[in-house]
């Protein structure tokens, strides 16, 4: 069945990490910002960093301008 083959990786992720999967699903469904409390403090208690990996940019860098000739 082609549909089953397409859904197989998703079902493996759900069965392998159900807490992480459903936590991410509900955080997205409720539009929770992971960089704000209380979610941020809970994630830090779990041992996760919330500042790294948010867009891949340092917060102290400003946008750079370029000139095209």
Q: What is the pLDDT of residues 17-30, one digit of tens each?
A: 777 778 778 888 98
End-to-end Cα distance, the chain: 55
Q: Which residue has the tokens 């500042």?
A: 51
How sure is the predictor about 1, in pLDDT bands with cuts at 50, 70 and 90?
low
Torsion angle (degrees, nearest 10) of CA 47, 51, 54, 59: -170
Length of the chain: 69
* 32 vs 52: which has the higher pLDDT: 32
Q: Which residue has the tokens 């397409």?
A: 6
Whether the predicted model's global pTM rises above the 0.75 cut: no
């Amino acid at each position: 069945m082609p549909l089953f083959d397409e859904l197989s990786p998703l079902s493996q992720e759900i069965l392998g990490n159900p807490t992480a999967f459903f936590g991410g699903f509900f955080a997205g469904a409720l539009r929770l910002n992971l960089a704000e409390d209380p979610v941020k403090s809970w994630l830090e208690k779990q041992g996760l960093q919330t500042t790294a990996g948010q867009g891949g940019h340092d917060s102290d860098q400003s946008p750079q301008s370029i000139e095209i000739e």
